Amino acid sequence: MSETLKNTTQPIVRMQQLNKHFGSLHVLNDIDLTIVPGEVVVIIGASGSGKSTLIRCINGLEEFQSGSLVVDNNELLPHGKSTQALQTIRTEVGMVFQQFNLFPHLSVIDNVTLAPMKVRGLSRDDAVSNAKRLLDRVGIADQADKYPSQLSGGQQQRVALARALAMEPRLMLFDEPTSALDPEMIGEVLDAMRELAKEGMTMVIVTHEMGFAREVADRVIFIHKGEITEQGHPEKLFDSPQHERTQSFLARVLKH
Amino acid sequence: MDVNFQFDWSAAFGSIPYLLPGIPWTLLISFGGLAIGFFIGIFFGLLRISRLRWLRWPAIIYVEVFRGTPILVQVLFIFYGLPQLLGGPINALVAGIAAIAVNSGAYISEIVRGGVQSIERGQGEASLSLGLSRTQAFRYVIWPQAFRRMIPPLGNQGIISIKDTSLFSVIGVGELVRQGQIYIATTFTALEVYFMVALMYLAITWTLSIILRQLERRGLAGQ
C-alpha cells in the first residue's frame, strides 16, 4: 500500500496519550498509536515491556485509566465504561492468543462456528460451510470433527486463526502467536499469517520472531517500559536503530 | 469379647422385610433434598462469583452458616424449632428434605464456584474477543466445561448427603436407620440388624458411584 493512500485513509485504531497502571506499576505510558487499514504492525520489546497489554487494550481485554482510544469509529472509554462500543469492537476485531484458547469441549468445526452463529446470527449451514472454507485455507480441513486436544500445537493455533477469521474481522490482533509452539510448528503458523497479510488484512502482531517481523511488517514498534521508544520501517529499525535501548534489545535477540 | 457370641444370619436376613420399606424414604429424602440443593448451590455459587460485592455477601453468609453448623442441629431446628415460629407442625419428611437441601446447597455452591473458577481465564477472554456477550460466554463456553469438572465432587456430595439422612431417625422419619431401630426394639439383634442397615447404605452408595463413573467417562470423552 502506498504512503499517500495510507495517509488519506481513516485510521482503524487511534490511540492518544493512553495510560495504564497495574497498582503502582505504570504499564503503558502516554502511548500514541495510529494504525490504518491494510497495515501490518509488529510490536517488539522485552517481556514485561507492556506490548501484550497494549494490544489487549485495543479489544478491551484490558482497561486503561486515561487517554483516548478509537477502534473502527467506536470510542473505548477509560475504566472499561463503554459496554456497547466494546461489544461492537469485539465483533470487528479478531484475536489470536499465545495459548490458543480453543474451546476444549467443542469440536474444531464447533469452535469455528460458535461465534458466527451466536453473535452474527448465521444459520448452522452457512456457518459450517464458511468454517470449512476457512479451515481449508489454513490447511486443516480434514481435522474438522476432531477435538482440540487431538491436534498438534501448530494445528490448534491455525484453528484459532480460522475461528477468529470466521467473524470476518476488520483487524486482527496476535499476542505472541508462536511463543507456546514447538520450534518445528512455528513455520506453519507464520505461513498462515503471511498469507493473511498478503490478502490485505490489517494486523497488529506481538512477536519475538524477528525474521518474520522484518519480512511482513510495514512498521515495527519497539516498546520499552510502557513507552514507544522507536518505530519505523523494519529495515530501518532493524538495520539502523536510532535509540540505544533498541540497539541493546536487538543485539540480544538477534544474536542467537 | 464374648467368645460364645454367634452372628445370627437368620436374624440378619429376617430383618430385611422390615428394613426394605426404609429405603424409599432414604432415597426420597436424599434425592429430593439433593435436587433442591443443586439449584440452591447453583444460585449461591453464581452469586458468590459475581462481580458485585453486594451479591457476593449473601452467598458467603449462606455458605458459612450452613457449612459451619451440624446437619443434626439443622434438622432439629427445622423440625422442632421452626414450628414455634410458624405456629404449626412440620412434616418430618419435609423437614428432612429441607435439611438436606440447605445443607448440601451450601457445599454444592462451593463446588459450583470452584468449578467455574477452575476454567482458565483465556477461555473467557477468547469468547469475549469473538464478540460473545458475558452471558453467552458463560453459557456456551464456561459452564459446559465447569459442569464436567463438577461431576466428581457432586457425586461425592451426593454420597455424603445419602449417609446424612441416617441422622434423621431422630425426628422419626421412617428411613433405614429408624426402621432398624424399631425392629431391634422387639428382637434385640442390634449387631445383625445394623450390619444389614450398613449393607443397604453401601448398596445405594455403590450403585451411585458406578453411575457417576459412567457419567464421568462419557462427560470427559470430548476433552
What CATH number does residue B56 fall under? 1.10.3720.10
Mean pLDDT of A230-240: 95
Mean pLDDT of B13-27: 95
Q: Is the ipTM of this complex over 0.90?
A: yes
SS3 A86: helix
Burial label, B133 (beta-carbon count in 10 A; 0-12, 13-18, 19+): middle
Q: Cβ(A218)–Cβ(A22) under 8 Å?
A: no
Label residue A120 by pLDDT band (50, 70, 90): very high
C-alpha cell at B161: 448427603
Percent of chain A with pLDDT over 70: 96
Residue B215 maps to a domain: no
Q: Is a pLDDT exceeding 70 seen at residue A4?
A: no
C-alpha cell at B177: 436407620
| CA distance between the termini of chain B | 55
Residue-wise pLDDT tens digits, B136-159: 999 999 999 999 999 999 999 999
Amino acid identity at B184: I
Task: Tell which residue, A191, A189, A162, has the closest CA to residue A177.
Answer: A189
Mean pLDDT of A112-136: 97
pLDDT for the residue B1: 67
pLDDT for the residue A1: 45
Q: pTM value?
A: 0.89
Q: Is a pLDDT exceeding 70 seen at residue B223?
A: no
Query: At which residue does the C-alpha cell 480460522 appear?
Result: A162
Residue B178 maps to a domain: no
Residue B118 maps to a domain: yes
Q: Is a pLDDT exceeding 50 seen at residue B222?
A: no
SS3 B52: coil
pLDDT for the residue A254: 82
Question: Best interface-test mutation with B: which of A118, A151, A204 has the largest number of B CBs within 10 A?
Answer: A118
| CA distance between the termini of chain A | 32
CA distances from B55 to A149, A255, B58, B114, B115 (A): 36, 54, 6, 17, 19
Q: Is a pLDDT exceeding 90 seen at residue B59?
A: yes
Phi, psi of A126 (to 5 degrees): -65, -45
pLDDT for the residue A2: 45
Residue B94 maps to a domain: yes
CB interface of B with A, residues 108-167, below 8 Å: 120, 122-123, 125-133, 136, 140-141, 144-145, 148
Residue B181 maps to a domain: no
Mean pLDDT of A181-195: 95
Question: Best interface-test mutation with A: which of B123, B127, B130, B133 has the largest number of A CBs within 10 A?
Answer: B130
CB interface of A with B, residues 152-191, below 8 Å: 160, 163-164, 167, 173
pLDDT for the residue A8: 57
State which H helix or E strand residue B58 sits in: helix B53-67
Q: Cβ(A84)–Cβ(A155) under 8 Å?
A: no
CB interface of B with A, residues 72-111, below 8 Å: none
DSSP state of B169: G
Residue B158 maps to a domain: yes
Sign of the Cα pseudo-torsion (B40, B88, B170, B204, in order): negative
Range of the domain at B37: 26-172
Residue-wise pLDDT tens digits, A7-45: 557 899 999 999 999 888 999 999 999 999 999 999 999
Residue B63 maps to a domain: yes
Q: How far apart are CA B93 and CA B32, in angstroms?
A: 10
The C-alpha of B21 sits at a distance from chain A's nearest C-alpha, in angstroms, of 43
Q: What's the whole-number average pLDDT of chain A?
A: 93
Domains in chain B: how many in total? 1
Residue B156 maps to a domain: yes
